[in-house]
Amino acid sequence: MLEVNLLHIDKSKIARNLLAKGLDSIANISGVGTLAEARQAIADGNFNFFILDNELPDGDGLTFAEEIRKHPDHTKTPIILYTASLNNELEYRAMEAGINEGLHKPIDMFEMMQHVVKQIELPHVKRVQRQLLQLTCFSWKANGKYHEYSPDLNLLLTGDDRNQLRRQMHVELEEQVLAKDDPSKYPADIEVYKHVVHLPPENDQAA
C-alpha cells in the first residue's frame, strides 16, 4: 500500500490526537491547528493526503482546499473534509473546491480508516506487496440486522452494530488467513484489479 504522509488541519487538539491515534497504523500523521501552520507544514514537508476541518481560526477549509488544488504537486492529492458543520450545501461546495469526500464529525476511527484506505487505493489498478492480501467483503442491512460476508472464506457475520461487526470481520479474516494461507505461494508482487459489473434493471429481470 502507498506510504501515506497525512496532514490533518483542525483547531481542536483533541480531534487531532484522536485521528493521529486512529490512523497511525496506515499513515504518518502531522497535525496543525491553523491554515498558517498548514502552509508552513506543506512548504517544509512532503504530504500526499489531507484531512481538514472547515471552520479554522484563520480561514475556512474549502478555500484552503482550492489553494491546495492550485499547487502543481497536489492537483490529484486526496483531500477529506471532516467537519461537524457538514450539510448538503457544504458538501456540494466541497465538491466544487476539489475535495474528494466530506465526512460528518464525529465518526468511528475504524470507519475513518476505511475512507482513507479507499482514497489510497485509487486508481483501481495497483500493485501490492506479497505480504498484503486483499480480501473482498460485502456489507448490507436486512431485517434490522447488519451483515458482513466474505466470499473468499465463505464467512458470514451478523450483528446490531455495523462498525463493531466490521472490526470483528477483520479479526476473523486475519486469523483464518494466518492459520490457512501460505504467503510464499504468491509472486513478489501482485496486480489487483477491481471490476464493476452492471446488473440489468430490476424491471427487466425475468420473473
For residue 23, what pLDDT band results from cuts at 50, 70 and 90?
very high
Mean pLDDT within 180-197: 58
Mean pLDDT within 19-24: 92
Where is 145: in which H helix or E strand?
Answer: strand 145-150
Range picked from 106-120, 121-135, 167-181 for highest mean pLDDT:
106-120
Where is 63: in which H helix or E strand?
Answer: helix 61-70
Q: Phi/psi at 79 (nearest 5 deg)? A: -130, 125
* Nearest residue to 193 via CA among 131, 123, 130: 123
Q: Phi/psi at 96 (nearest 5 deg)? A: -65, -30
Query: Rounded to two decimals, what is the model's pTM?
Result: 0.60
* Strand runs labelled E in 18-125: 28-32, 49-52, 55-56, 59-60, 79-83, 101-104
For residue 28, the model assigns a pLDDT of: 93
Q: Is residue 205 over pLDDT 50?
A: no
Mean of pLDDT over the chain: 83
Residues 133, 111, 88, 10: is their CA dihedral positive or negative? negative
Q: Show the cell assigned to 117.
A: 484506505
Task: Output the CA angle 199-119-137, nearest 5 degrees.
Answer: 45
For residue 79, the model assigns a pLDDT of: 95
Q: What distance in Å separates the CA atoms of residue 112 and residue 18, rounded to the nearest whole number?
A: 11
Q: What distance in Å separates the CA atoms of residue 155 and residue 71, rounded to the nearest whole number?
A: 45
Q: Is residue 1 over pLDDT 60?
A: no
